[in-house]
Amino acid sequence: MLCYGGIFDPDQAQTRLNELNERSEDPDLWNDPKKAQALMKERQKLDSALSGFFKLEQELSDQQELIELGEMEEDDAVIAEAEAALAKLAKIAQRREVETLLSGEVDGNDCYVEIHAGAGGTESQDWAEMLFRMYMRWAEDKGLKVEISGTSPGDEAGLKAATLLIKGENAYGWLKTESGVHRLVRISPFDSNARRHTSFSSVWVFPVIDDDIEIDIAESDCRIDTYRASGAGGQHVNTTDSAVRITHQPSGIVVQCQSGRSQHKNKAEAWKMLRARLYELEMQAREEKAQAEASQKGAIGWGHQIRSYVLQPYQMVKDLRTGVESTNPSAVLDGAIDPFIEAALAQRVHGGGAVEVSDLD
């Protein structure tokens, strides 16, 4: 993606697209399938970005002309309609600007979202299920495909753990800053004395890795266990040891999959998840090293608390990295997390403290 400091450059993008179009006509291109696929992927992404840019540009011009026409004819209704259209265009443009930040090596890939309840029993397990639903709703609202790779039901309610596979353009790029600990404060629905409780759950986001990215895993370093899947899935799932768990002993990473009806399919998916986790671990180490070298103050360590959701005694969701707030936690928990994501992405690219975004409420 041709962007500089988060600014999309259409002239440079068009020049690059012309170059890719010319190279795509080379009959020898597909002699190297991996290289050809990478070229076509970049070409498609640039073509889509340019089309969106020119469409916005044309719509902006059209609405400006409508306002001029309305002013000439003193037609307030036409002016109001055009101004409303411009407000919508501004939001689209803001989102496109954020999309220019998604230029990392695997930002365009699908991703896994792994959720684990913290200490606290039923309270934290219920909170983990609320986060599970929040990310499902967010993905569905974006038109992304969601698959449940595995769940571990809570003792009385909620979830001990769950893994979602989210498929679609820039899935990992959008969600990568959601990794960390999420804190909930509320009057517990499980406490007969209606006391206020604080619960924690962790979220870990890691990309689905393309075959052309090499991740070396020695099978001798891994322990593979099979077990009977739990939860919904029909008689077959509940009566055979189809679920697979892989433990990578050097790193301590554990992945598991129970979504498929066959042990073979679940094992293959679990290996993919392990490759993705090890890749993300390496990227984390590189980022932490870069932050240490730059001596950046206030750097957020992976796995640390990133956001608080307060339902009582007041209503507030606050991102502790960017300072972005919302007084409508119901909407946030229903999937309205874009402003938090956009601010965190901007901060990761540009650094600094609090980031201003559009009104959340």
Mean pLDDT of 317-324: 94
Q: Are 131 and 164 in contact (CB under 8 A)?
A: no
Q: Do 173 and 125 lie in a common domain? A: yes
CA distances from 4 to 15, 56, 96, 118, 333 (A): 15, 20, 14, 40, 33
For residue 105, tell me if it sits in a domain.
Answer: no
For residue 358, tell me if it sits in a domain.
Answer: no
Using DSSP bridges, classify how beta strands 305-310 and 316-319 pair: parallel, antiparallel or unpaired. Answer: antiparallel
Q: Do 76 and 121 lie in a common domain? A: no
Q: Is the peptide bond before 329 cis (omega within 30 degrees of 0)?
A: no
For residue 39, tell me if it sits in a domain.
Answer: yes
**What does the alpha-carbon distance between residue 198 and residue 12 come to, in Å, rounded to a whole number?**
50
Of 43, 73, 99, at which residue does a domain stop? 99
Q: What is the pLDDT of residue 211?
A: 62
Amino acid at 75: D
Q: Do 141 and 82 lie in a common domain? A: no
Q: What is the pLDDT of residue 354?
A: 43
Q: Do 187 and 302 lie in a common domain? A: yes
Q: What is the pLDDT of residue 196?
A: 86
**What does the alpha-carbon distance between residue 308 and residue 318 come to, in Å, rounded to a whole number?**
5
Q: In the predicted model, is pLDDT for residue 247 greater than 50?
A: yes
Q: Do 64 and 187 lie in a common domain? A: no
Q: What is the pLDDT of residue 99?
A: 73
Q: Do 57 and 185 lie in a common domain? A: no
pTM over 0.75: no
Q: In the predicted model, is pLDDT for residue 17 greater than 70?
A: yes
Of 49, 72, 99, at which residue does a domain stop? 99
Q: Do 151 and 273 lie in a common domain? A: yes
Pick the more confident residue, 12 or 134.
134
**What does the alpha-carbon distance between residue 82 and residue 78 come to, in Å, rounded to a whole number?**
6
For residue 106, tell me if it sits in a domain.
Answer: no
Looking up residue 186, the CATH number of its domain turns out to be: 3.30.70.1660
DSSP alpha helices (H): ranges in the chain?
10-24, 33-73, 76-99, 122-141, 171-175, 234-239, 263-294, 329-333, 338-350
| Enclosing domain of residue 237 | 111-350
**What does the alpha-carbon distance between residue 58 and residue 169 come to, in Å, rounded to a whole number?**
24
> How many other CB atoms are found less than 10 A from the CB of residue 323?
13
For residue 344, tell me if it sits in a domain.
Answer: yes
DSSP E strand stretches across 154-272 = 159-167, 180-187, 196-207, 222-227, 243-248, 253-257
Looking up residue 17, the CATH number of its domain turns out to be: 1.20.58.410
Domain count, the chain: 2
CA distances from 356 to 149, 167, 277, 342, 347 (A): 36, 29, 32, 10, 10
* Residue/partner pairs of 146-153 with CB below 8 Å, 24 or more apart: 147/259, 148/259, 149/112, 149/257, 149/258, 149/259, 149/269, 149/273, 150/229, 150/243, 150/256, 150/257, 150/258, 150/259, 151/230, 151/231, 151/258, 152/230, 153/230, 153/231
Q: Do 190 and 154 lie in a common domain? A: yes
With cut-offs at 50, 70 and 90, classify the pLDDT of residue 216: confident
Q: Do 81 and 172 lie in a common domain? A: no
With cut-offs at 50, 70 and 90, classify the pLDDT of residue 304: low
Q: Do 184 and 271 lie in a common domain? A: yes
Selection from 52, 289, 316 nearest residue 169 by Cα: 52
Q: What is the pLDDT of residue 1?
A: 40
**What does the alpha-carbon distance between residue 283 and residue 258 come to, in Å, rounded to a whole number?**
27
For residue 189, tell me if it sits in a domain.
Answer: yes
Per-residue pLDDT tens over the stretch 21-65: 999 889 888 888 878 888 887 888 788 888 888 888 899 999 999
Of 99, 121, 155, at which residue does a domain stop? 99
What phi, psi does 204 have (nearest 5°)? Answer: -130, 125
Mean pLDDT of 87-108: 79
